[in-house]
Structure formats: structure tokens, C-alpha cells
Amino acid sequence: MDLQVKTGTWQNLKNNVAVIFAAQGNNDSLVYFPATDFKDAESLALVKNAGFSAALNEVLRVPVEGQWILLVGLGKRADVSEDCFRQAAGTAAKALRTGPSKSISFPVVEVRGVSQEQCAQALVEGALLSTYRYEVYKKPAENLKTQLKAITLLVEQANKQTQAKRGLEKGRVIADAVQLTRDLINGPSNLVNPTYLAKQAEAMAKTNKLKVQVLSFDELKKKGFGGLVGVSQGSAHPAKFIVMDYKPVKAKSTLVLCGKGVTFDTGGISLKPALKMELMKYDMSGAAAVFGTLKAVSELKLPHRVVGVIAATENMPSGTAQKPGDIIKTLSGKTVEVLNTDAEGRLILADCLHYAKRFEADAVIDLATLTGACIVALGSQSIALMSTNDKLANQLVAAGERTQERMWRLPLWEAYGKQMESDIADLRNISGTGEAGTITAAKFLEAFTEGLTWAHLDIASTAWTQQDKPYSPKGAVGIGVRLLVSLIEQWKK
């Protein structure tokens, strides 16, 4: 993909589809960006006759001066945000699938609350992410193939080039990272198994200069990773515990990101129903987001140490699998009565969170497709956030608003913890009542976070989309990467 910033207008570009944005102003008027390029009477009449209202993601093709203009709506002018540009750019890039042109240009604009740098970043993210496809096993049909070969960002004044270029570069790095995350999630479990994830980490050790350590199944047994061993012992694919360390020379803070990496969740002996079980390849979306975030953070050379801690395993039923009623001893020393082998994510995260204590981090954040209850409670619009630290929680909520990877905080009141007490072990892995499943899962995790500044993100409802969205085609969303990169970029101790 050829990405560049140019000063000037689309008229000078060859074989290009020029995007012009339109927003809804006062009294049904339309506001065009850039304002100067699009005001001949003929075009304006055409827009009016087509009934184009500039609603967000509305598209109209207009022939102007022998070229095609793509008019894309941003919605109400007063509500235009970074995400409107991300969506509109995604919609525009997809519109290029039909038609002969392979290059597209966007105006970089500055509107209330959105700088030229932010606009440029959002445009590149939107255009690149919208045309993503998982292409490992099948090349897309000709009519679905993206025609996009080049993106030109147009700035009006030469002195805005630096800002736009910075945004473009950031957008490119972040889109690449999200695409890696999506590929890992969309990859079927017969390809993406724990060993595959370990190899991915080792590859990133070279290309991204991360320090990587992988613990084998034997080492996990020896060192007492009882949560991860218990879950993985039924599988023919050995578990891997993966640590990736990005450590800049003068790190201002340390953040640890823990990811649930269940490459396939059958439920184990507490077997899941067959219907839609194939979706459980996405049960490693937390781990995949950690991979993407480390890739982006290291390429952007952010000034904080970021450590990724991933427990990678399958959850399978077999003659060697753990059984309901088994009691395991986790890395922390705490014992757990495993009453349902399908509540496996919390068992492996217990070991990750305990392991994270050694980094004396300023924050530890775990990401996991942890509970079906999260889908019931919040649906595909929101991540569930739970945290024992208000400052960290608020920083996450703010990053969620900025990136539109939004979240809603649920309480961790003491009373919810009662449901996770066992008569014969320190904890049980499912609640006694079946109520508030997302919260009780987090209460279980909390038991392994003494001394940590900790937040838990349940991404079960947001990591996978059943429908195409402006910049997320059906399948893996890659949720968490843009969120965490933005959090770390603006991180304050």
C-alpha cells in the first residue's frame, strides 16, 4: 500500500477517486470539507436531486471535471469526531471495490476537537481496516477484492504536512497491529494453537526487538502453574506461557498486559453445546490483542515498558482432562475447586496475574473473552470493565471514548465475592447462584491481584462481530489494540 501526504487539491491527482466529506449544518444546509473544492452549481444540484443528506457513512458518486468524486457523509457537523472520519474513510475505501480506480485521496481537515494529526490517523486506520480480509486459506472473490493500492492525504497548507505525516505513520502502524490481531483470531484452531502463538512471539522478538520467554508444558508443571496445567492437561497441544517484554532505555512506567489465550474452548468435560461452538476459536482474542498492542507500542517507540503475559492453551475433553470437582493449586498457592471445566479462562488468568506481580508494574490489565454473561449484559457495543483502582479505570474509560472501543464499569462489591467461596478449597471457579456471571468471574480474578493496580476487561461481546461494520468486516474485530495503544500513549502515573 502506497501511503502519502501531499499539499494541494485532488484535481492534480491522476486515476484517483477523490473523497470529499460533507456534514449536516444548520437548517438542512450541507458543509463540505474542504469547503473550496465543491461548490459549482451543477454538482450542488446533483447532490440535492440525489437526496444526499450527509448522514454518517452515506455515499454519493459525483462526476466532476471528468473525474469521480466520492461524497461521504460525516453526520451532524456539531458531532463530528475522530471516529466519524475513521468510519467515513472505511466506507469510502470499500466503495472503491466497484470501479476502475485503485487510488483514493482524502482531505485532512481540522474540526472541533479533531486535529489534523488525529484526522490523518483516523483516515488511514479507517481505510486500511475496512478493507481487511482473512486471506490465508481463500483468496477473496473478484468482486470483494479491494482495489485499493494507494492512499493520498491532502493538506491545504504545506506547514501542516508534518502533523499529517505523523498521523499517517501512527495510523499505518496501528492498522497493521490490528490486522495481526485479527489474523490470529480468525485463524482456525488447527492452525493457531499454543505452539503457533509461541512462534508468533518468537518472530516478534526478532522483528520488534522484544525480549521473549516461552515456558513449556513441562516447565509449567515443575514451576506450579496449576491453573494453566489443569486446563491444558486434556489437550494434545501442549500449553505455552508466553512473556513478551518491550523495555525502552529510560522507561517512564511499567504496564503489564495479561491475555487469555484459549485457542479453542470446547468447555472441556463440562462440554459446550454443538451450536456455534466453532466460534470458540476466538477465545484467544485477549492474547491476540496483547500481541497487536506490543507490536504497535514497540514500533511507535512509546516511552513505557510494556510486558505481555499470555497463557496459551486449548480446553479439551479427554481421558487426561481435568474433571468437575477436581481441586487444583494455582501458581499463587491458592487452591481452586473446579466445579465447571468451562470456566477455564479465570484459571489460566489466575496464574498470569500472580506472575505479573514480579514486574512491580504501575498497572496490570487483563483482557479476556471471559463470560457469556458479558454478551447478555452489555452486547456488542461495550467491553465490561472491572477494576479495584478508580484512576486506572477512569484512564481506561477515557481511552475507550477516544478510540470508540468503549467500556462500561461493573461493580466489584465484596458481597459478590461470597459466591466464589468453596467449602473444601480457597475458591470455587463458578458461583453458587449463577447470577452476575461477569462480575463473579472478576471477583475470582481479584483474589489473585493483591498489591496490584489492576483492571479486567471482559471482551467476550466485542471481540467478534456477526455483521460488517464500517471498518470491521464480519469476524474478528481486533478489539483492545487501538484502546491500549491510546491508553499507553497518554499514560500518566
* Residue ranges that bind ligand BES, judged by CB under 6 A: 265, 283, 340, 342-345, 369-373, 430, 437, 460
Please identify, using beta-carbon distances, which residue of 267 and 308 lies nearer to ligand BES. 267
Q: Which residue has the cell 458518486?
A: 61
- Residue 430 binding target from ligand BES, Zn ion, none, CB below 5 to 8 Å by type: ligand BES
Please identify, using beta-carbon distances, which residue of 344 and 405 lies nearer to ligand BES. 344
Please identify, using beta-carbon distances, which residue of 73 and 345 lies nearer to Zn ion. 345
- Residue 285 binding target from Zn ion, ligand BES, none, CB below 5 to 8 Å by type: none
Closest CB 276 distance from ligand BES, rounded Å: 8
- Residue 372 binding target from ligand BES, Zn ion, none, CB below 5 to 8 Å by type: ligand BES
Q: Sign of the C-alpha dihedral, residues 166, 289, 190, 218?
A: positive
Q: Is 265 in the site for Zn ion (CB under 5 A)?
A: yes
Closest CB 318 distance from ligand BES, rounded Å: 17
- Residue 154 binding target from Zn ion, ligand BES, none, CB below 5 to 8 Å by type: none
Q: Is 345 in the site for Zn ion (CB under 5 A)?
A: yes
User: Edge-to-edge strand order for the sheet containing 335-338?
Assistant: 326-329, 335-338, 427-428
Please identify, using beta-carbon distances, which residue of 124 and 460 lies nearer to ligand BES. 460
Q: Please tell me the distance from the alpha carbon of residue 295 to that of residue 172, in angstroms, as a whole number.
A: 12
Distances in Å between the alpha carbon of 381 and those of 88, 123, 177? Answer: 19, 22, 22
Closest CB 273 distance from ligand BES, rounded Å: 11
- Of residues 272, 329, 406, 469, which has the active-site annotation? 272
Residue 97 CB-half CA count within 13 A: 15
Closest CB 1 distance from ligand BES, rounded Å: 32
CA trace torsion 99, 101, 103, 108 (10° rounding)? -60
- 3-state per-residue secondary structure call for 138-185: CCCCCCCCCCCCEEEEEECCHHHHHHHHHHHHHHHHHHHHHHHHHHHH
Please identify, using beta-carbon distances, which residue of 260 and 402 lies nearer to Zn ion. 260
Q: Which residue has the cell 468447555?
A: 267
Asked if 240 is an active-site residue, the reply is: no
CA angle 172, 368, 442 (to 5 degrees): 140
Q: Which residue has the cell 460533507?
A: 22
- Run of H or E residues at 205: helix 194-207
Asked if 86 is an active-site residue, the reply is: no
Segment interacting with Zn ion, rule: CB under 5 A, options 116-124, 258-266, 329-337, 432-440 = 258-266
Site for Zn ion (CB under 5 A): which residue of 37, 125, 156, 283? Answer: 283
**DSSP secondary structure of 374-393:** HHHHHGGG-EEEEES-HHHH
Closest CB 487 distance from ligand BES, rounded Å: 23
What residue is closest to ligand BES based on CB?
A: 372
Q: Please tell me the distance from the alpha carbon of residue 96 to that of residue 152, in angstroms, as a whole number.
A: 14
- Of residues 346, 402, 428, 482, which has the active-site annotation? 346
- Residue 371 binding target from Zn ion, ligand BES, none, CB below 5 to 8 Å by type: ligand BES
**Interacting positions 189-208 with Zn ion (CB under 5 A):** none
Radius of gyration of the chain (CA): 24
Please identify, using beta-carbon distances, which residue of 118 and 189 lies nearer to ligand BES. 189
Contact 426, 347 (CB under 8 A): no
Please identify, using beta-carbon distances, which residue of 259 and 437 lies nearer to ligand BES. 437
**Which three-class secondary structure state does DSSP give residue 407?**
strand
Segment interacting with Zn ion, rule: CB under 5 A, options 60-68, 80-88, 281-289, 435-443 = 281-289
* Burial of 321 (C-beta count, 10 Å sphere; 0-12/13-18/19+): buried
Please identify, using beta-carbon distances, which residue of 344 and 351 lies nearer to Zn ion. 344
Do β-strands 67-76 and 59-64 pair in parallel, antiparallel, or remain unpaired? antiparallel
Distances in Å between the alpha carbon of 389 and those of 257, 368, 406? Answer: 16, 19, 18
Closest CB 83 distance from ligand BES, rounded Å: 25
- Residue 37 binding target from Zn ion, ligand BES, none, CB below 5 to 8 Å by type: none
Type of residue found at 52: F
- Residue 460 binding target from Zn ion, ligand BES, none, CB below 5 to 8 Å by type: ligand BES
Q: Is 314 in the site for Zn ion (CB under 5 A)?
A: no
- Residue 288 binding target from ligand BES, Zn ion, none, CB below 5 to 8 Å by type: none
List active site positions. Answer: 272, 346
Chain residues in the site for Zn ion (CB under 5 A)? 262, 265, 283, 342, 344-345
